[in-house]
Structure formats: C-alpha cells, structure tokens
Amino acid sequence: MNGCNSNSDGQDFEGEDIASVYESIQPEWPDEVRRAIADSLDQNASPGVGHHFLLDVGCGGGRLTKVLADDFDGVLGIDISESMLKVAGKNVTNPKVKFQQVYDDILPVESSSADVVTCGISFQYLNTPVFLAECDRILVDGGILACLVYVPNILTSLDGKPIANYSTESSRWQHICREFHIDCGVDEAVREIHLTRYEAIFNALKNPTKHWRHFAKRDHKYTIRNMLEYMSSIAGYRNKTYPDPTKDPLNIFHAGLIAIFRDAGLEGNDDTEFIVTFEYSAMVIKETKQFGIA
Ligand SMILES: C[S@@+](CC[C@H](N)C(=O)[O-])C[C@H]1O[C@@H](n2cnc3c(N)ncnc32)[C@H](O)[C@@H]1O
C-alpha cells in the first residue's frame, strides 16, 4: 500500500472486528439523503448530467452506497480498507453496485465519467488538494461532490426526561465527546468534524457553488453501555492501548457522562437510557473546474 496521498493509511478501519462492530453500531443514513443528493444534482442541472454514475469514496461497509444505489444506473464504492469492503460485499447485493479497493486518493475511474462523488464521513481521511483535483478530473461538467456527515451533537433527554437546560447540557455533552477524541490523539482534521463538520475546509473552498444542505435530524436512544460501545468503535480509540485506566479516554468519557446525569439529579448506570440527536448534513460543490482551496 502506498498511502502517500492520503491522510489515512486505512489501518483505523482494518480488521474483521472493527469493520463489523462499526457497521452494527453506527446510525443508518436516513432516506432524506437521497433527496438531498437529487436536489443538488437537479438544481440548475447542466446538460448531460444525470443519475448515471455515482462514485462513493470511503464507502466502508456500503451503508451509504446501498441507500443511494437505486437512484443511479451504475455505482462504484471504493475504500482503502479490505475489511470494510468485505462487509460491503455482504451488505450490498444490488448488481448495479461494484466495490474496489484503493491504495491512495487517485480515483480509479475515467475522466469526465461521474455525475456524483459522495464521501460518507470519509472526506477528512483524504488528502484534500489531491482529492479535489481528482474530483475535477472525473466529474462531468455540472456534476457534484457531496461530503456527507452526521454529528451526534445534541443531548435531548436523560432517562426519559427532556433536558431542562438544553444548550448547557448539549455543550457539556459536546465537550466530553471532543475531549474523548483529543485524549485518543485523533488527528485534528478528523476530530473536528464531530463538532464543526467541515467548516474550515468549506470556508477555504474557492468554488462559488459551495453550499450546505442540512437534510435530516434523528433521535437515537442509547444506554450508557451502548454509548461506551459506540465511542470505543471510533477509529483512533481502537488501535491503541491505555495501560493506565485513569488515562483511558473511554473511562474519562464515562465519568463525564455520569457527571451530566448526576448534576441533573439522576443516577446513571449502565442500563440508563438517554437520547442523542444526530444532525445530518452535506457539503455540496458543483463541478466548475474551480475545485481548489484558497
Ligand atoms: C467513517 S468510515 C465511513 C464509511 C461509510 N462511508 C459509511 O457511511 O458508513 C470512513 C471510511 O473511509 C475509509 N478511508 C479512509 N481513508 C481512505 C482513503 N484514502 N481512500 C478510501 N477510503 C478511505 C475507511 O477505510 C472507512 O471505511
């Protein structure tokens, strides 16, 4: 594997265990994602652009690929991780969809051949200038790049009780999530999407067509135990060991979560439920041969 053009060497998502845990624990992509992509594509549609070919970059286990596949004539999902692609092969049986392993950010398709390129929470792993230049090359005129992301950033209820001080509790929740990523030593570019999405990159993009689509919100119920499983499935935590339990990011996160319950007058145990609202957004750019960043 060469990996020289990429922010990731794919190791974070390698291994049967991480691939299947990740797939079982991450929330589904909601159906609204199809409308978000279709509306972006159809808005001021350029001649020759259609629902012909979709390239899903960093497709992982094919969760997003599967939801979008019916809207295109042909679909290719690519990923650096062999393990994730194995899961994708099992999850997605639609014959229109093909999967392929890649080793860097050079996209394995012909120039001017894709109507849509999607990245489902994978854009942060790519080398931005290399990837954007590749999008310039492979997208048809007027085709779109959609970088999709979901962030579990609102704490909505604790143990069945709506949160009284919504913004304070949500910002405490966001704080412990951010600290978790920092404690894991997760690269800043990767970490920040959990709170700011792709804001810094979005601001630096030169392309005048850039825009956001905030297309869905979904409540997800977790027990404290499930949430710890979710956090421990995040790439960056999994591949390290923490011999000192007081420095284990998961233990620190756990203590922070219990403190939020305690300060709300609740006793959180492993089975206590709470609701987190995920916000789903897409950063969309239309091909105008100005894909670079400032
Ligand atoms: C957070 S997962 C998202 C997977 C999938 N898109 C989804 O929505 O579930 C990120 C994926 O990006 C892949 N990835 C990381 N670096 C990559 C690269 N340079 N090229 C292609 N895929 C890459 C990882 O292997 C992983 O499967």
User: Is 54 a residue whose pLDDT tops 70?
Assistant: yes
Comparing 167 with 156, the larger pLDDT belongs to 156
- Does the residue 110 lie in any domain? yes
pLDDT tens per residue, range 69-91: 999 999 999 999 999 999 999 99
Q: Which residue among 91, 107, 125, 134 has the greatest number of ligand 1 atoms within 8 angstroms of its CB, and so is best to mutate?
A: 125
Q: Looking at residue 16, what is its pLDDT?
A: 66
The residue segments making up the domain with residue 264 are: 11-286
In-domain check, residue 15: yes
Residue 219 lies inside a defined structural domain of this protein: yes
Q: Ligand 1 mean position to 23 CA, how many Å?
A: 12
CA–CA dist 22, 235 (Å, integer)? 9
**The domain spanning residue 227 has which CATH number?**
3.40.50.150
Q: Is 80 in the pocket of ligand 1 (CB under 6 A)?
A: yes
Q: How far is the CA of 288 from the centre of ligand 1 (A)?
A: 26
Phi, then psi, of 73 in degrees rounded to 5: -75, -35
What's the confidence (pLDDT) of residue 194?
64
Residue 5 is assigned to a structural domain of this protein: no
Cβ–ligand 1 contact at 121 (below 6 Å): yes
Residue 5 alpha carbon, nearest atom of ligand 1: 19
- Closest-CA residue, ligand 1 atom 11, reads 58
User: Can you give the pTM of this predicted structure?
Assistant: 0.90
| Residue 293 falls inside a structural domain | no
Q: Tell whether 37 is covered by a domain.
A: yes
Structural domain total, the chain: 1
Is it the case that residue 36 has pLDDT exceeding 80?
yes
Q: Is residue 294 part of a domain?
A: no
Q: Tell me if 2 is assigned to some domain.
A: no
Flag whether pLDDT at 10 surpasses 80: no
Mean pLDDT score of the chain: 88
- 191 versus 8: the higher-pLDDT residue is 191
Report how far apart, in Å, the C-alpha atoms of 68 and of each of 3, 109, 161, 170, 285 are.
28, 19, 36, 31, 18
- 166-180, 216-230, 244-258: segment of lowest average pLDDT: 166-180
